[in-house]
Amino acid sequence: MTSTDTKMKKIGVYTSGGDAPGMNAAVRSVVRTAVTNGLEIMGIIQGYTGMIENKMLPLQMRDMANIIQRGGTILKTGRCPEFMKPEYRKKAADFLRAQGIEALVCIGGDGSFRGAQALATEHGIRVVGIAGTIDNDVYGTDDTIGFDTAVNTALSAIDKIRDTADSHDRIFIVEVMGRNSGFIASHVGVAGGAEEILTPENIIPVDKIVEKLKESRARGKTSSILITAEGQKPGRAYDLAEAIRKKSGLDAKVCILGHQQRGGSPTANDRILASRLGYAAVQALLDGKSNIMVGVQYGRLVEVALEDVISKTKEGDKHLIQLARALSV
């Protein structure tokens, strides 16, 4: 994980996978820390696609002006299936060397880190990862860039939905993002006063949901909010609503929040987290380190081996789901 080479002159930075609010703040931190320490820095456009197409440009201090508050990523992002093939990774490595890039800062999720680790192990390019994903599902860090913003975006929408649910005495099923992770759903569910939370880690039979809804109505509760993570495909909320209707005759309205959770100006928490991690990533490279992710645990910056990050699973917080259930009576 360390190297004795301290003569690094040029590094690259890229964003990969799904965009997340705060990625720009991380890029800003990486660039300004690098330049302050006498390094040249290149921005790689559109993640691994840009790497294999040689789409790179030099970045300067002033290029980072007025981006800390912007959602998305000025470097663009995307997924690149071709990068799973060794010949494309070699092509990327050849372009990186031709540009004089000796090390990389990768801002993305665990899929992005797999590509970064492959570059490190196969081609000797030093890499440090920064976790940027709204799903907060990266092992080794308590929080990922974009998660706090996504939760607050979803919560704002749910507060508005609750107003109409109460006005019409309705049941609403709100679907939030989270294909394999229930972190957004569990946090939003507690903060939004949801009656039940359904996540990949917390699958509940429809009969139990119907039983709880009927018990709530018997106690005089006239409206309910259910939160569900999208699962493997968006739209599972419609299947749940139809199942509830068939089992109970109760009509449940559906609201799918979708990609709005990825956009918008990042919260102060995400800007601060991104700034801390961007600085720490460059410092790690200056210290000769590689094949690690910088993250945060209990408020403290940590370094975690990429091998652990991509091979281990971050457990969902079942306590939050239990808490939401207990407080929704």
* pLDDT-flagged residues of the chain (< 50): 1-5
Contact 8, 102 (CB under 8 A): yes
> CA dist 193 to 148, 172, 185, 236, 297, Å?
17, 12, 12, 21, 27
3-state secondary structure of 139: coil
The structure tokens 């470097």 sit at 75
Which pLDDT score, from 0 to 100, does residue 292 have? Answer: 98
Ordered structural domains, the chain, with CATH: 10-146+266-311 (3.40.50.450), 148-263 (3.40.50.460)
Cα torsion 313, 45, 263, 237: sign? negative
Tokens standing for residue 53 = 């197409």
d(CA 110, CA 323): 29
Cα torsion 86, 90, 95, 96: sign? positive
Question: What residues are labeled active site?
Answer: 135
Which pLDDT score, from 0 to 100, does residue 7 have? Answer: 82
d(CA 269, CA 131): 14
3-state secondary structure of 257: coil
Which pLDDT score, from 0 to 100, does residue 28 have? Answer: 98
pTM score over 0.85? yes
Which pLDDT score, from 0 to 100, does residue 6 have? Answer: 54
Which pLDDT score, from 0 to 100, does residue 1 have? Answer: 43
Which pLDDT score, from 0 to 100, does residue 5 have? Answer: 46
d(CA 59, CA 105): 14
The structure tokens 């590509």 sit at 115
d(CA 32, CA 38): 10
